[in-house]
Amino acid sequence: MFNLKNQVAIVTGGARGIGAGIAKVFIDAGANVILWDVLDSGQQTADDLGDKATFRKVDVTNSDSVEEAVNEAIEDHGKIDILINNAGIIRDKSFSKMTFEEWNAVINVNLNSLFIVTKLVLPHMKAAKYGRIISASSVNGSAGAFGQTNYAATKAGVQGFTRSLCKEVGKYGITANCVAPGFIASDMTASMPQDVIDQGIKQIPVGRIGTPEDMGYAYLFLASKEASFINGITLHANGGSYAI
């Protein structure tokens, strides 16, 4: 197990799903985790995770909200070692029926927040000469998906952002990578008909749907000190359904 003892991690979109799974794995590895989310349920998630988890209600699309939360993290912990840009939404619809509002909402949460949060955290990592920035892409950022032109565009954008950012921050002891999950158990998949879930699983060579904890371990590797030579990659975690 990789050791994150005494490291401080921010997980955006940490109230549930993959974000909560990342937080659990990181805490088990010794990290102090700050969950950011617009959902009030993030407080219950933090309570369930124990003393090493805290929750702050943050709108990652609002620079003032993010700046206040970053300043609070520095005041409380003195540093930010790891940033997990996990917050994201979907507004699926075929392109011909997609509205400007549905396009802009996904771009704003999934991509603009990536700029805002990283922009405000990065100076503290530079000052410390250390950091791990890991952002959430998706298999559909590479493979595409019907009804997800907005979502797939943002997740491809995360990959391009990461490949470019890594070239700027490496000299400061900071790495930038992203994880592209495949079919993962979540509130969204739980609402799907069972036959749809079964069909999805048939496309996965390992024979099962992924879990938030599976994703947490992928993030854990990239967040570790041992991954210091891994920079600018997209780590696909999909059970072999999309081999690249």
Residue 152, pLDDT > 70, answer: yes
Residue 2 domain-assigned? no
Residue 242 domain-assigned? no
Burial class (CB in 10 A: 0-12, 13-18, 19+), 152: buried
Closest to 20 measured CA to CA, from 47, 55, 45: 45
Residue 243 domain-assigned? no
DSSP reduced 3-state for 220: helix
Geometric angle at alpha carbon 29, from 123 and 182, rounded to 5°: 80
Q: Tell me what pLDDT residue 193 has.
A: 77
Lowest mean pLDDT among 3-12, 139-148, 195-204, 234-243: 195-204
- Nearest-angstrom CA–CA distance, 224 and 29: 10
Where b means 16+ CB within 10 Å and e means fewer, 117-144 reads: bbebbbebbeeeebbbbbbbbbbbbbee
Catalytic residues: 151
Return the axis-axis angle of helices 149-169 and 113-128, rounded to nearest 10°: 20
Residue 50 domain-assigned? yes
Per DSSP, the residues of 79-139 read ---EEEE---------TTT--HHHHHHHHIIIIIHHHHHHHHHHHHHHHHT-EEEEEE--T
- Nearest-angstrom CA–CA distance, 93 and 180: 21
The kind and range of the H/E element at 72 are helix 63-77
Number of helical (H) and strand (E) elements in the chain, helices listed first? 10, 7
Lowest mean pLDDT among 29-43, 58-72, 178-192: 178-192
Q: Tell me what pLDDT residue 164 has.
A: 98
Instruction: Give per-residue pLDDT as tens, 90-130.
Output: 999 999 999 999 999 999 999 999 999 999 999 999 999 99
Give 199's contacts (C-beta < 8 A, 6+ positions apart): none
Q: Tell me what pLDDT residue 242 has.
A: 85
Residue 211 domain-assigned? yes
Q: Tell me what pLDDT residue 89 has.
A: 92
Confidence of residue 188 (pLDDT cuts 50, 70, 90): low
Residue 1 domain-assigned? no
Q: Domain total for the chain?
A: 1
Q: Tell me what pLDDT residue 143 has.
A: 86
Residue 244 domain-assigned? no
Lowest mean pLDDT among 45-54, 76-85, 90-99, 182-191: 182-191
Residue 228, pLDDT > 80, answer: yes
Q: What is the mean pLDDT of the chain?
A: 95
Q: Tell me what pLDDT residue 198 has.
A: 84
Q: Tell me what pLDDT residue 195 has.
A: 81
Residue 3 domain-assigned? no
Domain that holds residue 149: 8-237
- Nearest-angstrom CA–CA distance, 199 and 197: 5
Residue 53, pLDDT > 90, answer: yes
DSSP 14: T
Residue 62: CATH number of its domain: 3.40.50.720
